[in-house]
Chain A
Amino acid sequence: MQSWRGKSLWLALSASWLLILLRVFPLLRLAVPARPWASAPQGWPRWLDTELLPSFSQPGELPEDAPQPPQAPRGGGCDWGACFDASKCRTGGLKVFVHPVAGPISASHRKILASIESSRYHTASPEEACLLLFLSLEVPAGECSPVPQQWNGGRNHLVLDLHPAPCPQTFQLGRAMVAKASPTVDTFRPGFDVALPLLPEAHPLRGGAPGQLRQHSPHPGVPLLALAEERGGWRTAGTDPSTCPWDGRCEQDRGPEQTHPGGTLPNATFCLIPGHRPDALHFLQALQAGCIPVLLSPRWELPFSEVIDWTKAAIVADERLPFQVLAALQEMPLTRVLALRQQTQFLWDAYFSSVEKVMHTTLEIIQDRIFGASAHASLLWNSPPGALLALPTFSTSLSDFPFYHLQWGSRPVGRFSALIWVGAPGQPPLKLIQAVAGSQNCAQILVLWSSEKPPPSRWPETAVPLTVMDGQRKVSDRFFPHRAISTDAILSLDAHSSVTTSEVDFAFLVWQSFPERMVGFLTWNHFWDEAQGGWGYTAERANEFSMVLTSAAFYHRYYHTLFTHSLPKALRTLADETPTCVDILMNFLVAAVTKLPPIKVPYGKQHFEATPPLVPGGPEPQPTARDCINQMAAGFGYMPLVSSRLRLDPVLFKDPVSVLRKKYRSLEKP
């Protein structure tokens, strides 16, 4: 027993030690060399006396900075604060005067002049102006344009320099700002000068060609890369990573490729553009084509870089790393590619597609500098519909606009204001008021009395406040941003419109899902009339529509501001002279902003049909009215209207189910 016990004791002990030896020691051996003291991959050391280290500035030193008198701007250097006198603009708003040009001018200069004159900032008197524009002309080499009168040392001047100046120093710039096409980075003064795009000679004055992108995502067969060529064309290259897309930058042979002549736009996902100056023209082409520009160390300032966030639409890469760039492009996540592609199109359409847009953007940038805190927010510049169509004078809160609810995580404010326009016959629309006031979503009723007859003194008792405003006897007055309008949504009505409470309720509900569009009951459709060689429109019932009548439609109150402050005066005058035009004009405006069709909701009174409200006679619009759509199209420079083939109905609309289930059953009454 004893020996057995001894044996087992030994056995147990030796087993344990064996275990220790076998298991633990190798571990220790492994552990030892891995210890930091051996190879010492150390970071910044933790000092023992960290607490004792002195601060970089002694207490008192920061605030006790030796004061110094204000400094005058350095010799020759200019920036916005030092060289521009904004006080004049702050009182009278931005007013732009263009120095008259002496001598013959080219077509592109004429376009520039025309586009500035069409701007709402233009003024004919130099005394009134706070910004004076000087067009630097192309002159024979060696000669220089003369300094204009009222030059005033260049103060508050903007020198427009669209061509690489043949006369290196046209004249002493003084304190003038320079708006130049593709300025070199070295001479560009950020926040003072304006970088313009390099426009081709044939760039249209107005409207302009739309972006070429027809689909959001790249088509599967499309090549990855197109390369800008020295001669002005594009060359598409294969997607093979081993092929070198650069001329003379890598040794390998180039892959299979195609060369395209100068005029055509590139058809590829990415467009490689070398950074030398002449390639700036390629940049606009790529933008229009929806081909994501990849700029290789550009030596020129990107157009409107002060306000446009180019990182959302282009990639600025280092030309010294061709393979790294190529690899990064190939591995770029689809989500990013999609976002970049769409942004190129948005920017092209918003700021670059016509001379007018380019010039108006330039003025808007200067306006923003004057506005300071109440300028366009960055989001307004960099997301649809763009800063030319989103006026900061309307509001500085993004949630007040119809466009940014998604990005801002907000929603349109609760209820609507009914705006009833009473025209010539001057009949108070009592039935209509009752029907509208019956809606739970109605916040107020505004009657815009535009008749020669005086308004009646007594109005029906309604659950909501009713205000009678004295109108200006002008049709365009109905789209004036009246102060009394307190809600985001407006229900625009005519005195003789006829709607029911449930029609209004449902239409308002639909509008809340589409606050940037017009939601209406009666529709018109436009078409291209081959016989007449112009646009026409019809009120006849059809399978498509592109306009809703403003005699009964919901839309955002922002469109009143836009209608009154951004439309060219000529178009508004046209609408006043030919009242039917006002509907067309409003529809043009909203379509130009949204690029989408309006929305139609069900309407019971089929007999009422879409007769133009103020035109007596048949369903066919009068010849003058027919003219008006063509004049509008000319004024906009293109046809913005978009057709839709659908109508939004309640979910159970006219379904063979129990009436009790239906929320909007009265909509179905014939």
Chain B
Amino acid sequence: MGQVYLEREEEAACVIMCASVKYNIRGPALIPRMKSKHRIYYITLFSIVLLGLIATGMFQFWPHSIESSSDWSVEKRSVRDVPVVRLPADSPIPERGDLSCRMHTCFDVYRCGFNPKNKIKVYIYSLKKYVDDFGVPVSNTISREYNELLTAISDSDYYTDDISRACLFVPSIDVLNQNTLRIKETAQALAQLSRWDRGTNHLLFNMLPGGPPDYNTALDVPRDRALLAGGGFSTWTYRQGYDVSIPVYSPLSAEVELPEKGPGPRRYFLLSSQPAVHPEYREDLEALQARHGEAVLVLDKCTNLSEGVLSVRRRCHKHQVFDYPQVLQEATFCVVLRGARLGQAVLSDVLRAGCVPVVIADSYVLPFSEVLDWKRASVVVPEEKMSEAYSILQSIPQRQIEEMQRQARWFWEAYFQSIKAIALATLQIINDRIYPYAALSYEEWNDPPTVKRGSVSNPLFLPLIPPQSQGFTAIVLTYDRVESLFRVITEVSKVPSLSKLLVVWNNQNKNPPEDSLWPKIRVPLKVVRTAENKLSNRFFPYDEIETEAVLAIDDDIIMLTSDELQFGYEVWREFPDRLVGYPGRLHLWDHEMNKWKYESEWTNEVSMVLTGAAFYHKYFNYLYTYKMPGDIKNWVDAHMNCEDIAMNFLVANVTGKAVIKVTPRKKFKCPECTAIDGLSLDQTHMVERSECINKFASVFGTMPLKVVEHRADPVLYKDDFPEKLKSFPNIGSL
């Protein structure tokens, strides 16, 4: 909404501006004939009029654009003023939860029809206050956290206010804490929701399930088919693939400032900070402390604190007082023991402190375990094995511990730190189930940003040597050098593994020669005419390309021998995820200019190959055309240069691997023609190419090119061995 008003305001500003402009245009015709006194008078008059106009405009439009639209749209209301709904004592109660529910049995997926964004639509029922026949409220109307949660959903992309288009319904009845509600009446309140329909597609959030004395591990409110996002599920109550296990939010997350502390060894190896631990467990913990001394610290609640000190924020060991949660940052491992409930808010505090949780709660389903890999951030110890916990932890190498500390902190930041984070992760999990082909990957859920930045996932990761019989498609980009083109075609057609030849005719003003004039070759030859003379046409993923291997070749490359090309193809088969080319080039860091420099000298290193003749996988054509970062593609087309450098950047960036230069070839021009290129021409060329490298490095945000000092030659190249027995005897020189 706010967006619309902003635009309106701009429009209004334009009206005023346009008006004044129009006045000014008319002005000069009148004013010059007047005396300066009058002129001032009129100008003042018009200014007043104009100011009035601006003021009106401001008055009309200003206030709406600065206020957030929803604040402005809904009159300020109090939670106390929400409508009251009386629930008759005999109103229906839903069935108890159905333990056999799965997405394909209990979830109505037809409500979440196909949509291009692959996002579910979530509707929130409006807030009501439910009372029983005697006017006694059923529960607290709403808690701060549940209000925050609904606000977060409402502000997210998932939200819809159209109940008929919604796929998921979130009741505003707050069931976060089972102890604050009356079970039967809450169930009745759920049952009378307008789209309840046995709870189909309804999502309930609950963090504190069960109540004394037996503390069930799932919400006791009968809810039929509704999905439950619950904190504290056990494997017995958790419906795998249907429910979502969520964390118990720790209010300390918002209350306490806790600066991040990096991973590394800490003062205590193992810490137990929970004040209410069952005596049996406390005995076990204290036995651990007795055995391992200083390295283990077991804290309890403080008994001797003076009035007024928040006991929630203090822990004691004998007479020593510790600040909580700060003390968690002093420990490498922190115990998260089950209480009466399996889910404990302390888990959130522990993760935040970068302390690795040692979860001792049999059958507990860890938060978001459907997507999060808890092995990377926690250690799970069976309750029976508590006495062995210390030795189990001791066997973990330090490097792995630091990795786990980092991971723990990252989980907190991404999925625990606020009610909003919890709500959005829950919806994302459900979204992933409904649109599985658009689901987030394991890496997207689990890899911390530092890993995501450094890692490369090679799109052609499977080690696979394509069969030789497949052959390659040669793509010749040409403008009008027909004679030279025909020579290239004739030469290339001699290569045994060529399976098709594609000529990209980049000249719109001239038709390609008639069919009869083309050289007769043994493989299909196809001419593609382009709409515009662009360099990127060379890297277009033409439907005509049927092989995986593509040979890009210029229409003037006639010096490469058939053996050389065939060998190039063989090398590509062994490195199908790389650019395999002939002359190599290098990028260098220019310390004086503080930028990258293009180098074509004959050095011992290569980081690029020229695509005047290069083999590569046809998938890179798709990437070049559709996934090139930034404006590089257009930039190359506009400058008519550096398409090869762009391709080198793209392939190196996506695969993380270096190019393969084959055979001695250092340049394409025939040796006798080098003199034609003037020195100055050469220099401007070098400057332009250097500019390209700098431009691309800034667009990619990194320098993806890899420098290597090797090239590929045939096994017996220049060996003392009879030439006629060599597979590729005719390898050209520089």
Contact = CB atoms under 8 A, between A and B. Distances in A.
Given A649-B711, A661-B602, A654 B397 contact: no
A16 B51 CA distance: 11
B701 interface: no
Given A59-B312, A66-B340, A606-B720, A645 B60 contact: no
Interface in B523-580: 543, 545-546, 548, 567, 570-571, 574, 576
Interface stretch (A115-123, A307-315, A575-583): A307-315
B278 A318 contact: no
B650 to A, nearest CB: 13
Nearest to B717: A647
Contacts of B77: 45, 47-48
A650 B715 contact: no
A531 interface: no
Given A56-B177, A645-B570, A327 B714 contact: no
Nearest to A398: B403
B436 to A, nearest CB: 5
Contact of B363 (A47, A62, A79, A315): A79
Contacts of B545: 220
Given A69-B280, A645-B714, A648-B711, A12 B73 contact: no
Contact of B456 (A27, A45, A297, A409): A409
A523 B716 CA distance: 12
B78 A49 contact: yes
A101 interface: no
Interface residues of B, number: 189
Contacts of A71: 362
A293 B676 CA distance: 59
Interface string A474-496: 00000000000000000000000
A28 B69 CA distance: 18
A55 interface: yes
B12 A27 contact: yes
Contact of B397 (A53, A55, A397): A397
Interface stretch (B143-151, B194-202, B259-267): B143-151
A42 B78 contact: no
B525 to A, nearest CB: 18
Contact of B710 (A24, A47, A649): A649
A81 B713 contact: no
B383 interface: yes
Nearest to B315: A63
B705 to A, nearest CB: 14
Interface string B327-363: 0000000000001110011100000000000000011
B387 to A, nearest CB: 11
Given A54-B143, A373-B396, A397-B397, A320 B177 contact: no
A321 B109 contact: yes
A151 interface: no
Nearest to B313: A59
A56 B146 contact: yes
A625 B466 CA distance: 31
A162 to B, nearest CB: 24
A57 B251 contact: yes
Contact of A215 (B124, B453, B548): B548
B312 A74 contact: no
A338 interface: yes
B144 A50 contact: yes
A315 B584 CA distance: 42
B510 interface: no
A657 interface: yes
Contacts of A466: none
Contacts of A28: 60
B710 A642 contact: no
Contact of B46 (A12, A601, A664): A12
Contacts of A40: 73-74
B710 A651 contact: yes
Contacts of B548: 215-217
Contacts of B713: 646-649, 653
Contacts of A627: none
B11 interface: yes
Interface stretch (A184-192, A277-285, A438-446): A184-192
Interface string B587-612: 00000000000000011111000000
B459 interface: yes
Interface stretch (A412-420, A423-431, A448-456, A590-598): A590-598
Contacts of B180: 56
Given A42-B73, A597-B574, A542 B715 contact: yes
A171 interface: no
B192 interface: no
Contacts of A338: 459-460, 619
Contact of B437 (A297, A312, A315, A663): A315
Interface stretch (B83-91, B99-107, B628-636, B684-692): B99-107
Nearest to B110: A320
A108 interface: no
B380 A372 contact: yes
B514 interface: no
Nearest to A31: B8
B520 interface: no
Interface centre among B207, B442, B546 (most CB of A within 10 A): B442
A219 B709 CA distance: 35
B442 A335 contact: no
B79 interface: yes
Given A186-B100, A646-B570, A64 B248 contact: no
Contacts of B509: none
A334 to B, nearest CB: 6
A53 B147 contact: yes
A-B pairs with lowest CB-CB distance, top 5: A409-B454, A36-B73, A44-B154, A65-B339, A81-B382
Interface of A: 5, 8-9, 12-13, 15-16, 19-20, 23-24, 27-28, 31, 34-37, 40-50, 53-57, 59-71, 73-74, 77, 79-82, 86-87, 185-186, 189-191, 213-217, 219-221, 275, 297, 309, 311-312, 315-321, 323-325, 327-329, 332, 334-336, 338-339, 342, 345-346, 372-375, 377-378, 382-384, 395-397, 406-410, 506, 509-510, 513, 523, 541-545, 594-597, 600-601, 606, 642, 644-657, 661-664, 670
30 contacts: A12-B45, A19-B19, A24-B53, A27-B12, A31-B8, A43-B70, A54-B140, A56-B177, A57-B251, A57-B345, A62-B344, A64-B275, A65-B341, A67-B277, A70-B383, A73-B362, A79-B362, A312-B442, A318-B434, A320-B104, A320-B110, A335-B459, A378-B446, A406-B458, A410-B454, A543-B725, A595-B463, A644-B715, A646-B570, A661-B602
Given A56-B176, A219-B546, A655-B602, 20 more contacts: A16-B53, A36-B1, A40-B74, A43-B155, A57-B345, A63-B274, A65-B339, A80-B382, A215-B466, A328-B438, A338-B460, A346-B462, A372-B381, A374-B400, A397-B399, A645-B715, A646-B714, A650-B711, A651-B711, A656-B733
